[in-house]
Structure 1
């Protein structure tokens, strides 16, 4: 009987070793499953980021009038400083004429970061022709009106609501949220447009100081 003990002991030891081996394998499998689960979550996170990027793009009914390609498109404007970008946009020809008359092109283009509330051609057309011509001929008053539309810093839509100091030294008040904002009596018709150094919010009326 004593001769059988070593064999039984050896068999028991072998069984223990096998159990540890199986446990280790099971642990490895769990790690693999965990790694697989983590790797599978990455595409979902990436998709969420893409959706956020899309949601943070331009908004508003007026964006339909922006060219879909070329220098005046949303993508084209993003490459140029703000005054140059505006000059390529067919919605903003009167604004560009006014900025040029006030000698503000270099000032706007060289600024580090701005938010510009840009009146459309239709917005300027609301001003009687004689009054508009008089404004365009008065450089000091024109400069005051135009800089009343500009705020330092690039404001995203979630930063837009509130009272902001303009480059004219006075203030404007923006109300709203999401994709609906008003600036004084003007409504934002195409917002959150990027240029190289500014955020542009196209508005449907000219803001008077």
Structure 2
């Protein structure tokens, strides 16, 4: 695999993680607008207008879109520390399973600080949240997807209720950015 592709995949993964954090924090702020394809209880908290709204995020690549949402600030910080911003912003057709700030808060602070200080481990975790293909709601019922990290993610569920690896709930799914799809999740995924 060439270095540029690897960097893009890593950046995409980190941006995805950042986005999921932001979106989770926004869950109680606003309601999704009619006619969009987003789903999940957390979508109601996304602002109705501005850079952090669904319309605003659709205009920006993943990492930039995440940076416009305060609820994804921990993910954005992680993506920046791992050096994945450009990778995520330049990748095309990716899917990011983005943990919310609350998802990161489930990790003991000492453990999170240790991971944030270890670029290799951080990159490994963040790229596990990124899939190098579009994954839409219709693909989530019984899915299995290879991540940029090299491991596999599984998804299951129906209606508007889906899980990733049987541990993380998708709180707001099918959020579109200029270069990919984001599914905001309530738990940070750990590669095996």
TM-score, structure 2 normalization: 0.79
Q: Does the 8 Å CA contact 1:191/1:201 hold for their aligned counterparts?
A: yes
Name the CA distance, whole Å, in 2 between partners of 1:75 and 1:87.
15
- 1:134 aligned onto 2:121: no
Give the gaps of 5 or more residues in structure 2. Answer: 1-33
Partner of 1:168: 149
Task: Show CA shifts across 1:125-170 (max 9, x none).
Answer: 0000000000000000000000000001122110123111000001
Aligned residue-pair number:
156
Greater helix content? 1
Partner of 1:121: 101
Partner of 2:83: 103
Partner of 1:88: 68
Q: Helix, strand or coil for the counterpart of 2:77?
A: helix
Q: Does the 8 Å CA contact 1:158/1:177 hold for their aligned counterparts?
A: no
Q: Does the 8 Å CA contact 1:158/1:178 hold for their aligned counterparts?
A: no
Q: Helix, strand or coil for the counterpart of 2:71?
A: helix
Name the CA distance, whole Å, in 1 between partners of 2:59 and 2:159.
26
Deviates more, 1:98-107 or 1:85-94: 85-94
Alignment match of 2:49 (pick from 69, 72, 76) = 69
Q: How far apart are 1:100 and its partner, in Å? A: 0.3
Larger RCO of the pair (alpha carbons < 8 Å, separation 6+): 2
Q: Helix, strand or coil for the counterpart of 1:91?
A: coil
Give the gaps of 5 or more residues in structure 1. Answer: 1-52
Larger radius of gyration: 1
Matched ranges for 1:5-84 at <5 A: 54=35, 57-84=37-64
Cα RMSD over matched residues?
1.2
Alignment match of 2:177 (pick from 195, 198, 209) = 195
Name the CA distance, whole Å, in 2 between partners of 1:59 and 1:163.
20
**Misfit runs of 4+, over 6 Å:** none
